[in-house]
């Protein structure tokens, strides 16, 4: 496993429409890609990653919402010289290969989204509250599942990447320009 570089705006590869994983591509190379994607996502840290974000234009997503684990001891970490205690989380890795949304709900949820390819920028995005997704697993087996809440939102966000769409593309022109200007300032300050 390896941590791969995450592409950031304005890298033109993020606008690439990803290709489906073909039947003969469910192999060790795909398994390595998925393992690297999880390691990269956890290191970032994030809760979802599309293959195109690490420069691979394939229809592959990894998601782990990392819910709190009430049975585990809280975790202490050091930020900016201050010690903080965070609830422990548990890993619940999910892999979606060649995902297709079948019936997005008319009801909409609004989440304050962020993206590893648009670091430090967050904005409210409206998406269908629930959706049914058909996808394949690492062995090529097909699944169909109804998703809701944050998992539905995260899947739709990551699926946008497969079409070359970033979450900031859902914002008004003015809000998108403001977000990109803020990102530019943050990069200059770093």
CA atoms within 13 A on the CB side of 126: 6
Question: What is the per-residue pLDDT for 64?
Answer: 96
Question: What is the per-residue pLDDT for 37?
Answer: 98
Q: Confirm whether 120 is domain-assigned.
A: yes
Question: What is the per-residue pLDDT for 20?
Answer: 98
Q: In CATH, what number is assigned to the domain containing residue 49?
A: 3.90.45.10
Q: Confirm whether 170 is domain-assigned.
A: yes
Question: What is the per-residue pLDDT for 91?
Answer: 86
Domain that holds residue 72: 12-189
Q: Confirm whether 1 is domain-assigned.
A: no
- Cβ-in-10-Å burial (0-12, 13-18, 19+) of 37 comes to buried
Q: Confirm whether 5 is domain-assigned.
A: no
Strands of 60-107 (E only): list them: 60-63, 75-79, 82-86, 94-101
Question: What is the per-residue pLDDT for 90?
Answer: 77
Instruction: Please report the DSSP string for 15-68 in residue order.
Output: GPPPBPPPGGG-SHHHHHHHHHHHHHHHHTT-SEEEGGGGT--BSEEEE----B
Please identify every residue annotated as catalytic. Answer: 158
Q: Provide block-wise average pLDDT over 10 residues at a time, the chain (190 residues).
A: 94 98 97 98 96 98 84 65 67 96 93 95 95 97 96 97 97 92 89
Question: What is the per-residue pLDDT for 103?
Answer: 87
Structurally, how many domains does the chain consist of? Answer: 1
Question: What is the per-residue pLDDT for 71?
Answer: 73
Q: Confirm whether 128 is domain-assigned.
A: yes
């Amino acid at each position: 496993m390896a941590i791969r570089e995450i592409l950031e705006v304005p890298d033109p590869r993020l606008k690439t429409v990803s290709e489906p994983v073909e039947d003969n591509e469910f192999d060790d190379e795909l398994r390595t890609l998925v393992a690297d994607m999880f390691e990269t996502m956890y290191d970032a840290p994030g809760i979802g990653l599309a293959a195109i974000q690490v420069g691979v234009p394939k229809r592959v997503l990894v998601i782990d919402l990392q819910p709190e684990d009430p049975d585990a001891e809280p975790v202490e970490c050091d930020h900016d010289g201050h010690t903080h205690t965070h609830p422990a989380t548990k890993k619940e890795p999910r892999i979606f290969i060649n995902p297709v949304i079948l019936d997005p709900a008319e009801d909409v949820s609004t989440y304050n989204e962020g993206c590893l390819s648009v670091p430090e920028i967050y904005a409210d995005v409206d998406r269908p509250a629930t959706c049914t997704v058909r996808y394949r697993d690492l062995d090529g087996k097909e699944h169909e599942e109804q998703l809701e809440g944050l998992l539905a939102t995260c899947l739709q966000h990551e699926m946008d990447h497969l079409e070359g769409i970033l979450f900031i593309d859902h914002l008004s022109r003015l809000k998108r320009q403001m977000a990109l200007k803020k990102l530019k300032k943050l990069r200059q300050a770093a």
